[in-house]
Every structure is written in structure tokens, then in C-alpha cells.
């Protein structure tokens, strides 16, 4: 057996009509799929980074995470709607069906799309750029696989989001 399993994204994007930025990951990790929400691995620094940028407590529940995102005009989703994947390995992804990102763009005020890591950007450029005509801006991955990037460095790199969060 190759270890590949076919998975379909099972939880909705988080956005509303006030969302100004969209942060895209690749596809939910095993832990995120278990929790039915984004960035569920305890070592993923996504929620710590956003909490630092918004000067908020680190959210722990799904409701708190959604509130943090929406109060700060942030939308999140993943590039992939379904794929074949081994565990949580982004490098193993194949047979991609992209998410309907144009739908989210049409229902919000997204001004900039950010990719949480190089793989999200690569997949977006391959499967979605021709549909959205909006470039994606690469940010360093918050994944535990990117352990060489410290939390402080992530916060510094991700601080490009602050003008959108503050509404400037």
C-alpha cells in the first residue's frame, strides 16, 4: 500500500462580507481534520501569531478562533478542496481539486491573498491564479515542519497583515 488516502475538505471557510484579507493554507492536517477546524496541531503557531498581531489572547475554542478572525477582517481557507495525501505531508499531495476561492472573493472585500507557506502559494498559482486573477503573497509557514523559523520571526514576517487588521 502506498499510504495515500483520498480526503475532502470537510469544514467551511471562515469569512464574512467585511473580510479584507484571505489567508490560505494547503489542506488540513490530520489533527485539523480530527478537530474539524484550521491549524489544529498543537505545535502549529498560526493562532499564536494572529493573537500577537491582534494583541488578543490566544484563542482555544473554535468559536474564539472564528471571532478573532472575523473581528479582525481575516478570512481563512485552504487551496485544496480534495486530494490524495499521505497523513499531513504537503509534499505528498496529488490529484488536487481546488477550493472555490472565487466564491469567497465575490462575497467579501478581500484586498490581498496570503499563503501560509511556499506550498500553499505554489498550489494556488497552479490551480487558482487563472480563476481569481489575484496574486498570492507568500508568508513563512506556521507549521511545526518549519521549526527553523522562530515564533518571533513569524510574528515579524506576518506583521504585514497589521494594516488590514487595523483598517488603515
Structural domain range at position 157: 5-163
- Report the DSSP beta bridge partners of residue 94: 84
Residue 117 gets the label, from left (phi > 0), alpha (psi -120 to 50) or beta, of left
The reported pLDDT for the residue numbered 158 is 97
Write the burial class of residue 137 (CB in 10 Å: 0-12 exposed, 13-18 middle, 19+ buried). middle
Between 151 and 90, where is the model more confident? Answer: 151
168 part of a folded domain: no
Percent of the chain topping pLDDT 90 = 84
CATH code, domain with 151? 3.40.470.10
pTM assigned to the model = 0.95
Counted domains in the chain: 1
Amino acid at each position: 500500500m502506498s499510504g495515500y488516502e483520498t480526503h475532502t475538505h470537510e469544514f467551511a471557510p471562515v469569512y464574512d462580507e467585511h473580510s479584507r484579507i484571505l489567508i490560505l493554507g494547503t489542506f488540513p492536517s490530520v489533527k485539523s481534520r480530527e478537530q474539524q477546524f484550521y491549524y489544529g496541531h498543537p505545535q502549529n503557531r498560526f493562532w499564536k501569531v494572529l493573537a500577537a498581531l491582534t494583541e488578543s489572547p490566544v484563542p482555544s475554542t473554535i468559536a474564539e478562533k472564528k471571532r478573532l478572525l472575523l473581528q479582525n477582517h481575516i478570512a481563512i481557507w485552504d487551496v485544496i478542496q480534495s486530494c490524495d495525501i499521505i497523513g499531513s505531508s504537503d509534499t505528498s499531495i496529488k490529484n488536487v481539486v481546488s477550493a472555490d476561492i472565487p466564491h469567497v472573493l465575490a462575497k467579501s472585500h478581500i484586498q490581498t491573498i496570503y499563503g501560509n507557506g511556499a506550498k500553499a502559494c505554489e498550489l494556488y498559482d497552479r490551480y487558482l491564479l487563472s480563476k481569481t486573477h489575484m496574486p498570492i503573497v507568500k508568508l513563512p509557514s506556521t507549521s511545526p515542519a518549519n521549526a527553523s523559523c522562530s515564533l518571533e520571526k513569524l510574528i515579524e514576517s506576518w506583521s504585514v497583515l497589521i494594516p488590514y487588521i487595523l483598517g488603515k
